[in-house]
Amino acid sequence: MQQKPSERPPLTLGKKFRFIEWLVESGIRTLSFISFAAIILIFVFVFKEASPVFFGKSEAEKASTKDSMASVINLQSSSKADTTVGTEKVEAVIKGKGALKGTDVIVKVDANGHKKKVTTNGGKIEQEEYDPFADDTKPDDTEKKPDNTVAPVKVSPVKPAPDPKKEIAKSKKDIQDSIKNVQNLALQTAKAKDSIAAAIAAKSLVDAKDKAEADSAAAKEKRNAEESKGNSNFGKMLIGDTWQPVSTVPKFGMLPLIIGTLKVTLISLLFGAPLAILAALFTSMFAPKWARETIKPIIELLAGFPSVVIGFFALIVMATIFQDIFHYQYRLNSFVGGIAMSFAIIPIIYTISEDALTAVPNTLRDASTALGATRWQTAFKIVLPAAIPGVFAAIILGFGRAFGETMIALMATGNAPLTSANILEPVRTFAATIGAEMAEVVFGDQHYNVLFLIGAMLFVFTFSLNMLVEFYVRKKLLKRLQGK
Amino acid sequence: MAQFSFAGTEGATFKRRLYGNVASGVSGFAALVIVAIVVVVISSIFIGGYKNFTWEFLTQEPTEGMTAGGIYPAIIGTVIMTLLMSVMAVPLGTVTAIYLSEFAKANSAFARTIRFAVNTLASIPSIVFGLFGLGFFVQFVGKGMDDIMTPGNLVWGQPNILWASMTMGLLTLPVVIVSVEEAIRTVPRDLVDASLALGATRLQTIRKIIIPGSLSGILTGMILAISRGAGEVAPILFTGAAFFLPQIPHALTSQFMHLGYHIYVLSTQSANVDKTIPLQYTTTMVLLLLTFTLNISAVVLRSRVRSKLKAA
């Protein structure tokens, strides 16, 4: 008290500045933000690659729009080694028409051309009829492979594999028909529009002899159309019901993907969630100790299964067994995929809801038992309601996992983008679409951007599910358990 | 247990008992179904795969267009990728866990932000990580490096083992963080306080008390991360996994074969799926064995950590 501070060094309490310590500590502080930074980076970069879908083409691409037509055609013809010259021409015409005529006409001509193609195919407006055509034009197509290679091998005699030669002949005929159609259409639309230049360009495209000339004209008008109308018709395209990104007239309708993803996810939830929640109830309430101590590690073992193993099991073993039992037509379908997907989400739902159930205070249980309730009454009327927000969180997280699971969907759902409510038909999910198609797109392509857009959607979706769990469900759970 | 029953309540008691039996029966049945699923999956894969499970299979390259031979490059590729991945994920995860448990106040905005980020990172679909790896590591970092160092040449700007393991490292970061944090909580608080009271700085305490005390947790995190990295396929689909590459990766810029990707390729894209079915089974069996071994050792380590936590 009497001592003056100057007489002896003051107690520093570790506040002495040490440069190295400070350096390392701030290093730790900075590095620990890596997960946060990663989230931001993922957000930024996935959206960055997806953004051209909304904001038109990037500058670099705009500069090269002039050659884009030719390059696209060349790329596609080079990647499709065995494409007949006929297809190339037809598609070029359709594309050229669209580019020339601005947005409305694109849709019209595309729709007509497509429809006619399909109707000549025997009047069936089914994707199935059209798919083999896509297969033939591009045999290296990854996402088609499961159908091509696996399904026919395993298929029961009920559904004979389509004869590729017949299909080729058929599609050649279709192509010839559609050439005529498109030629007629080109002339008609040209007349209707009274645009001589357009007619000339269209004819030259139909001949497909003088590509370069047509390209420059097309590119100019395309750019004008884009600048004036923006990408409004692209937005329409995104909610269309046809997903055909690898044809020369790419269609990015996401409806079949949405339906496919929802089908698989809901089937997996309907099968997996009740099982997992009941099992969690069993191990936390009813099971004798030995049963609990065997069941828990086994389910944790299931959590450690790589998804590719589950996908393999579903593809090779389960699909065959199910087809033998239920005798449906397509070996790989959303039902098989959904059940396989539930194997992946059962451990998640089980673990989280088990945690929620055991977190219910013992006082509640004891009170219930003391009032004369039996164990099942306590379980179903006291413990389960108290833990319901936790169980809800478990289901949401399971849903998120099933929504974004790639390998199982890629291997076991058949991967055909169909728009139908039948659960016994092949489907394609969002994640599987990315997994199957990303490997073979051209960087910076529209298809590439759309795939990134799908990825961004998956990211936003799981992110918001996580937010929901983090800020709403957890708080509710805490409130309930603390009796507020 | 003594039964208390009052006159006139026998019927009700019977009903209650019936309900009780039904309830426990149904929930027990659900648990049984899950266990059965696990048993069926494991046994069908092992029954299909054990015949080919030979030393030659493990040490040979795939031959005859991947319809014969072994999976040696895939095993080595997986091992190298997971090791590279843990070199990145384990230190970063440990640092984050140390920050969360030692530096940050439990309810500060920083800590909550990071915790939320970790949770989110754990729940993002793995395919999105793949897209990120392609968009960021390959297209942005790799292409950028190429532009600076070797303009015109494509060296880093294409999928390779480095980008794949960095992508996988991000994916497995939350796994490491969670298990290290759990382990740090087992270090007795008294020890930390005593160290600080003796005049050790925070860094010294971390280095001499906390890290040695949580080594098992760091190890657990690493094992779990490796197990996850060995099994995930989606993130490496377009960041570095090769369809077929007989030689083992020799540089950071080379692509690699991966067990999980190999299964996917064999079962959906090989030239002759029927012929390779035995190979597929055995490859799957190897992958399962690998992840089981890793997971079980992690469980053993973790249970030791947990019993320590209870004792503390």
Q: pLDDT for B66-125, tens place per residue?
A: 778 888 889 999 999 999 999 999 999 999 999 988 888 877 888 888 888 998 898 899
Residue A128 has pLDDT above 90, yes or no: no
Higher pLDDT, A76 or B70: B70
Q: What is the mean pLDDT of residues A405-434?
A: 87
Block residue for tokens 């026919």: A152
Give the C-alpha distances (Å, rounded to integers) separating B65 from A140, B223, B244, B265, B301.
Answer: 16, 33, 9, 12, 42
- pLDDT the model gives residue A278: 93
- pLDDT the model gives residue A89: 31
Determine whether the interchain pair A459/B125 forms a contact, defined as Cβ–Cβ distance below 8 Å. Answer: yes
Distance between A464 CA and the closest CA of chain B, angstroms: 9
Determine whether the interchain pair A313/B44 forms a contact, defined as Cβ–Cβ distance below 8 Å. Answer: yes
- pLDDT the model gives residue A194: 45
Q: Which positions in chain B touch A379 (Cβ < 8 Å)?
A: 23
Q: What is the mean pLDDT of residues A368-382?
A: 88
Distance between B195 CA and the closest CA of chain A, angstroms: 12
Q: Is A473 on the interface with B (CB under 8 A)?
A: no
Question: Which contacts of B186-190 are long-range, i.e. CB under 8 A and separated by 24 or more positions?
Answer: B186/B213, B186/B214, B186/B217, B186/B305, B186/B308, B186/B309, B186/B312, B187/B213, B187/B214, B187/B312, B188/B213, B188/B312
Determine whether the interchain pair A466/B119 forms a contact, defined as Cβ–Cβ distance below 8 Å. Answer: yes
Q: How far is residue A189's CA from residue A83's CA, in Å, rounded to a whole number?
A: 28
- pLDDT the model gives residue A187: 53
Determine whether the interchain pair B203/A25 forms a contact, defined as Cβ–Cβ distance below 8 Å. Answer: yes
Q: For residues A82 and A139, is the Cβ–Cβ distance under 8 A? A: yes
- Residue B24, Cβ neighbours under 10 Å: how many? 18
- pLDDT the model gives residue A30: 86
Hey, what amino acid is at A380?
Answer: F
**Closest residue by Cα to residue A309 from B248, B294, B49:** B49
Determine whether the interchain pair A153/B274 forms a contact, defined as Cβ–Cβ distance below 8 Å. Answer: yes
Read off the DSSP letter of residue A378: I
Q: Is A46 on the interface with B (CB under 8 A)?
A: yes
Which of A17, A35, A268 to mutate to test binding with chain B, by most B CBs within 10 Å of its CB?
A: A35
Q: How far is residue B201's CA from residue B189's CA, in Å, rounded to a whole number?
A: 15
Determine whether the interchain pair A304/B292 forms a contact, defined as Cβ–Cβ distance below 8 Å. Answer: yes
Which pLDDT band holds residue A177 (cuts at 50, 70, 90)? low
Interface of A with B in 227-266 (CB under 8 A): none
Q: What is the mean pLDDT of residues A394-411?
A: 91
Nearest CA in chain B to A36: B117
Residue from the list A282, A298, A403 with its beta carbon closest to the beta carbon of B28: A282
pLDDT tens column, A210-260: 444 445 555 555 555 544 444 555 666 677 777 877 777 777 888 888 999
Q: Which positions in chain B touch A405 (Cβ < 8 Å)?
A: 125
**Bridge partners for A20 per DSSP:** none
Give the C-alpha distances (Å, rounded to integers) separating B213 from A438, B182, B304.
Answer: 45, 11, 13
Determine whether the interchain pair A379/B31 forms a contact, defined as Cβ–Cβ distance below 8 Å. Answer: no
Higher pLDDT, A481 or A405: A405
Residues of chain B with pLDDT below 70 are: 1-12, 309, 312
Dihedral angle of Cα A218, A223, A227, A230, to the nearest 10 degrees: 70
Nearest CA in chain B to A146: B268
**Closest residue by Cα to residue A267 from A405, A74, A106:** A405
pLDDT tens column, A98-107: 332 222 222 2
Q: What is the mean pLDDT of residues A121-132?
A: 32
Tokens of B233: 């396929």
Which of B123, B184, B257, B272 to mutate to test binding with chain A, by most A CBs within 10 Å of its CB?
A: B123
The set of residues, in sequence order, having a beta carbon less than 8 Å from that of A463 and lying 6+ positions away, is B120, B124
Q: How far is residue B210's CA from residue B216's CA, in Å, rounded to a whole number?
A: 11
Block residue for tokens 């004209």: A217
User: Most distant CA pair in chain B: distance in Å?
Assistant: 94
Hey, what amino acid is at B262?
Answer: H
Determine whether the interchain pair B37/A302 forms a contact, defined as Cβ–Cβ distance below 8 Å. Answer: yes
Q: For residues B74 and B257, is the Cβ–Cβ distance under 8 A? A: yes
- pLDDT the model gives residue A308: 93
Distance between B125 CA and the closest CA of chain A, angstroms: 5
Which pLDDT band holds residue A341 (cuts at 50, 70, 90)? very high
Distance between B183 CA and the closest CA of chain A, angstroms: 17
Helix (H, G, I), strand (E, B) or coil at B232: coil
**Closest residue by Cα to residue A219 from A58, A94, A95, A77:** A95
Q: Is A376 on the interface with B (CB under 8 A)?
A: yes
Q: Which positions in chain B touch A36 (Cβ < 8 Å)?
A: 113-114, 117
Q: What is the mean pLDDT of residues A47-74?
A: 56
Higher pLDDT, B11 or A360: A360
Prediction pTM value: 0.74
Determine whether the interchain pair B234/A407 forms a contact, defined as Cβ–Cβ distance below 8 Å. Answer: yes
Which pLDDT band holds residue A20 (cuts at 50, 70, 90)? confident
Q: Is A12 on the interface with B (CB under 8 A)?
A: no
Which of A282, A345, A354, A473 to mutate to test binding with chain B, by most B CBs within 10 Å of its CB?
A: A282
The set of residues, in sequence order, having a beta carbon less than 8 Å from that of A440 and lying 6+ positions away, is A79, A140, A141, A142
Which pLDDT band holds residue A58 (cuts at 50, 70, 90)? very low
- pLDDT the model gives residue A96: 32
Determine whether the interchain pair A343/B174 forms a contact, defined as Cβ–Cβ distance below 8 Å. Answer: no
- Output the average pLDDT for chain A: 70
Q: Which positions in chain B touch A375 (Cβ < 8 Å)?
A: 20, 24
